[in-house]
Amino acid sequence: MRKYREAVARIRIGNEIDPATEMGPIISESQMNRVLSFVEAGVAECAKLSYRGERIDEGDLSRGFFLKPTYFEGVDRSLRIFQEEIFGPVLCVLPFHDEDDAISIANDTKFGLAGDLRSVSLPRIMKVSQGIRTGTFWVNRQLNPGPEVPFGGYKQSGLGRDTAMEGLMEFLQTKHISLQLTDSFERVRR
């Protein structure tokens, strides 16, 4: 957690078109208020708030919807901040015993849009990435998928896929035609 706290403090928040920016703004004021309501819900539910990310209210960023990261430690899995998709810089940190426990924790929600793992152990990477039920899973990186990669979630994180061939197939209807020519052809010729 010490390393995590140090990493959070170093995150460069700014204009998303600046290559030095690591975290851009929230999409809208209503979404920013929604994210802040999750932080308040976590506090109200007595989660251990380790770092409260608040709206940036100084300098050029004060005109946008910029929030500093927030994270809670030791979160109970039943809390709203764990169970719902926040779509903002809010993290729940939960301890786990081994890979199976981590997979169980990650899958204990009705959502499954994306997951993330940091590891150099290939057996761990394979076990965790295959075990966690998400539509996208990043290992040692986070990149937005390009148009050639299908994007979409599992469970209540969306139906189907966007982009790539899988996204195109959503607009098509597949038809199966079962045909046997040998017997039918002989009967028709007679």
In tens digits, the chain (190 residues) has pLDDT values of: 888 888 888 999 999 899 999 999 999 999 999 999 999 999 999 889 988 888 998 899 999 999 999 999 989 999 999 999 999 999 999 999 999 999 999 999 998 888 899 999 999 999 999 999 998 898 998 777 677 777 777 787 777 777 777 767 777 778 788 877 776 556 666 6
In whole angstroms, give the CA distance from residue 57 to residue 63. Answer: 8
92: Cα within 13 Å, side-chain hemisphere: 27
CB 116 within 8 A of CB 97: no
CB 43 within 8 A of CB 75: no
Where do the domains of the chain lie, and which CATH numbers do they carry? 2-189 (3.40.309.10)
CB 90 within 8 A of CB 41: no
In whole angstroms, give the CA distance from residue 31 to residue 28. Answer: 5
* Bridge pairing between strands 48-51 and 70-73: antiparallel
